Every structure is written in C-alpha cells, then in structure tokens.
Amino acid sequence: MAINLQEVCNILERQTCPIHNKKPTAKVNGNKIEINACCNKFKKELEEIMGNEISKQTDDNLDNILDISR
C-alpha cells in the first residue's frame, strides 16, 4: 500500500495561483514529486497541500492495515 504520487500530482495540478491565475505542473520523478509554479508563494502553498495529501494517504493506509489485522 504505497503512496499514490500520481494522485497527489493530480490534486496539485487542479489548484490555481490566487495571484497570477495560473495552474502549476507536478510530475513524479522516482519517489519524489517535482512542482513547477509561477511564484514561490504558490509553490509553498502547493508543498503544504502535498504534505497534507501524503499524510492523509498514509493515515488511510494505516487504517486499512489495522482493519486487516483485526
């Protein structure tokens, strides 16, 4: 039950910069996600969204593991 990095990229690419009204690009490179954004402020926001989504997927995976072992 690995983290689905492509799903995280899809979530990131649906975001829009509130300042420049542009969408980012995000791609999986090995076991990392590379984010290209129009400005540093937006990139920081995307990195926070990415961290939250990875945490959510991790929690979901742990919940599934615990349910299986019961």
Contact assessment for residue 35 and residue 50, using Cβ atoms and an 8 Å cutoff: yes
Q: What is the pLDDT of residues 6-16, one digit of tens each?
A: 999 999 999 99
- Structure pTM? 0.88
Q: What is the pLDDT of residues 47-70, one digit of tens each?
A: 999 999 999 999 999 988 888 755
The packing angle between helices 5-13 and 40-69, to 10°, is 140
